[in-house]
Structure 1
Amino acid sequence: MGKLGDMADKAKQLAKGHPDQADKGVAGAERAVDRRTGDRYDAQTDRAADAARRSYRDGGSAGH
């Protein structure tokens, strides 16, 4: 696996160990994108945030 994939795996493992902190980061990123785009992509950012949360909360393989 390449460096980016390795970093993503490490980030996912850290998020699994600290899900509350990861939730804050996901929510902050979602808010920032919504703010920058004037909420034009709100439905997409909601889905992306949910998929991110599932990837470390449920142990799922979101996006795979």
Structure 2
Amino acid sequence: MSGGSAFDKIKRAAAGNSEKVGQGVDKLKNFAKRKTGGKYDEKIDKAGDSATGYLTGEQDRKSDQDRDQGGQGGSGDTRG
């Protein structure tokens, strides 16, 4: 497929519309919270935030910054 996979194309479009992506994910999070009666709110928020970061490319930029600054990328392993 020319220009990457369909998912890559979606990610590029989402990166250019991060505000709308965030709004859409927020709506989905609220829907899921209502359907689960608040039982899984923390997990829903975490998953929604991860999805927003992934789709808008913010997660990639954060990983690059962590690498550039010698960050541990969440592994917590300080062995060298």
* Rg larger for: 2
Deviation at 1:11, TM superposition (A): 2.3
- Which structure is higher in helix share? 1
Alpha-carbon distance in 2 for matches of 1:44, 1:30: 10
Contact 2:29–2:44 (CA under 8 A) maintained in structure 1:
yes
Task: For residues 6-44 of structure 1, give each alpha carbon's deviation from its aligned partner in whole angstroms, at most 9, with x where no partner exists.
Answer: 443332222101011101100000000000110111011
Could you say which residue in structure 2 is the equivalent of 1:3? none
Question: Gaps spanning 5+ residues in structure 2: where?
Answer: 62-80
Alpha-carbon distance in 2 for matches of 1:48, 1:59: 13
C-alpha root-mean-square deviation of aligned residues, in Å? 1.9
Could you say which residue in structure 1 is the equivalent of 2:39? 40
TM-score normalised according to structure 2 size: 0.60
TM-score normalised according to structure 1 size: 0.73
Could you say which residue in structure 2 is the equivalent of 1:58? 58
Q: Across the two proteins, how many residue pairs are aligned to each other?
A: 56
Larger RCO: 1 or 2 (CA < 8 Å, sep 6+): 1
Task: For residues 39-64 of structure 1, give each alpha carbon's deviation from its aligned partner in whole angstroms, at most 9, with x where no partner exists.
Answer: 11101101111101211141529xxx
Which one is further off, 43-52 or 9-18?
9-18
Instruction: Give runs of ≥4 in structure 1 deviating > 2 Å.
Output: 6-11
Question: Gaps spanning 5+ residues in structure 1: where?
Answer: 1-5
